[in-house]
Amino acid sequence: MANRCTFSFVVMLAFALGCATMSVSPASASSCKRKLPCGPSKFTFYLHNTVYNPAVDNRNYFNSIYSLPPNISFPNPFSFGVRNTFEDPLTEGPSNTSKSLGKAQGFYVLNSFTEYTLFHIFTANITEGKHKGIINIFGQVREVDPVRYLTVVGGTGDFLGARGLASSTLVEIDHTPPAKWTLSFDLDLYY
């Protein structure tokens, strides 16, 4: 315990000295006291996804495709290891004809043997509306959960340095091939 406290103290001292030393030179001004500008603390968008399905060959209206399934000879009921890459339109409201905000680009990987879980990593590129910039989001979408909590890990533009929570719900899903769905994302952002 004593050792750990001493260690923390030394680290803090080294950090303080580092800041003090750095602030001497104006050319390489210290970043220790810099603050991020505050962007929006709440932001909502809706993501619309239509999967490409070779059976109906909807090549003229899709925004996501599955990669090849793993080369295995045993059953894989939850498509473990399959990736889907997407470039999805984002809108301000739940309808796909609502005002456009930009697009989400990224992928998800099905990562459970026993249920549908979709591990998402994507950027929301917000190019229209009051706020513009990138929001980087990742986290697990477990299908049975009514609300899925993902994490905002960063951003650019009006969302520079944003961190926080991305609460996502399924707004609607249509399983008729090609499968399509809409997800809502309510963001609580901190800077």
Ligand X SMILES: *[C@@H]1O[C@H](CO)[C@@H](O)[C@H](O)[C@H]1NC(C)=O
By CB under 6 A, residue 124 contacts ligand X:
no
Q: Does 176 bind ligand X (CB under 6 A)?
A: no
Structure tokens at 119: 């591990």
The end-to-end CA distance of the chain, in Å, is 33
Name the residue among 137, 136, 39, 51 with its Cα closest to residue 86. 51
One of 64, 158, 180, 187 touching ligand X (CB under 6 A): 180
Size of the site for ligand X (CB under 6 A): 7
Q: Does 47 bind ligand X (CB under 6 A)?
A: no
Q: Quick one: which of 28, 31, 60, 71 contacts ligand X (CB under 6 A)?
A: 71
| Residue 65 C-beta: closest distance to ligand X, Å | 17
Task: Dig out the tokens for 94 from the structure.
Answer: 């739940």
* C-alpha to C-alpha distance for 86 and 64, rounded to whole angstroms: 4
The structure tokens 């060959």 sit at: 57
Phi/psi-derived region of residue 161, left when phi > 0, alpha when psi is between -120 and 50, beta in every other case: left
Local structure of residue 51 (DSSP, 8 states): B
Which residue number, 125 or 168, has a Cβ lying nearer to ligand X?
125
CB nearer to ligand X: give 30 or 53. 53
Task: Give every CB contact of residue 14 below 8 A, 6+ residues apart in sequence.
Answer: none
Cβ proximity to ligand X: between 104 and 117 the closer is 104
Rule CB under 6 A: say whether 182 interacts with ligand X.
no
Coil vs helix vs strand at 14: helix
Q: Which of 36, 127, 143, 177 binds ligand X (CB under 6 A)?
A: 127
Q: Is residue 96 near ligand X by the rule CB under 6 A?
A: yes
Residue number, 148 or 180, with CB nearest to ligand X: 180
Binding site for ligand X (CB under 6 A): 71, 96-97, 125, 127, 134, 180
